[in-house]
Amino acid sequence: MKLTILSGRSGSGKTTALQALEDHGYYCVDNLPLGLLPQLAGQLDDEDRVLERVAVGVDARNLPRQLLAFPSTLAELRKLQVETEIIFLDADHGTLLKRFSATRRPHPLSGDDRTLADAIAYEAELLADIRMRADLVIDTSTLDVHSLRNQIRQRVAGRNVRLSLLIQSFGFKNGLPNDADLVYDVRMLPNPHWHGDLRALTGRDDEVAAFLQSHQETEDLIDDIFQFLVRWLPSYAANDRSYVTVAIGCTGGRHRSVYLAEQLAQRLRNKAIPLHVRHRELEG
């Protein structure tokens, strides 16, 4: 049995993610007290019908002392030889404020003596230990419901390889991706944005590709990043890393980063390395 612990801040999409896992055959339990995790794992493992994949939602509705005791709970699970992975969903503070304001639902930690902003910050403190130990952090700040479900399907539920690789383009002007493991800055390349006939296009268009290919430094940079990934991704897998997110950033996230992400993905697939591609600024 494999136990997936799904956690994250309120408003980050945990309910959607848990439903997506359930749709893909997971046995799901939401809001289980953390202290009962070892008992649940032991009970399910003793059932006549073997449950191969179990997901448990854990959030701030747990008692604070149980959240703070998460490291010892995790150690107990591993002592019982339960295979575990931790998925943590997060979003930036401003996005969470907007989501709660839009839905008008109360935050589980807000009250007469704690504002919504304070509740969001306090929840981050309570869940810090879980986030720090997560195998995969998904930043949902720019994801809608359908995009989140697709990420869960591709990177968690549908994964049948040891290492799940995501190549993600982004724009520095909109901030670094919070879920990135490796970040490459490609802003030193010639910028198609300053060419009027290319400005409205993206790195997926042939005209932009031709412009970037006409500069040798583009090919050199792709080669360098590709060689690094081919050399070191096996080491990530050998050290029990299940997820790696490689972020490629330019200024706006529409031209150079998109083109490089597509080129790297193509080369890695030619090496039989399975992966997913996401263009944050094009899909957000």
Annotated binding site for GTP: 59-62
Binding residues: 8-15, 59-62
**Torsional sign, CA 270, 275, 280, 284:** positive
Residue in 209, 203, 148 with CA at minimum distance from that of residue 171: 203
| SS3 per-residue string spanning the chain | CEEEEEEECCCCCHHHHHHHHHHCCCEEEECCCHHHHHHHHHHHHCCCCCCCEEEEEECCCCCHHHHHCHHHHHHHHHHCCCEEEEEEEECCHHHHHHHHHHHCCCCCCCECCECHHHHHHHHHHHCHHHHHCCCEEEECCCCCHHHHHHHHHHHHHCCCCCCEEEEEEEEHHHCCCCCCCEEEECCCCCCHHHCCCCCCCCCCCHHHHHHHHCCHHHHHHHHHHHHHHHHHHHHHHHCCCCEEEEEEEECCCCCHHHHHHHHHHHHHHHCCCCEEEEEHHHHC
The two beta strands, 164-171 and 275-279, are parallel
Binding residues for ATP: 8-15
Which residue is associated with the tokens 């290919």? 213
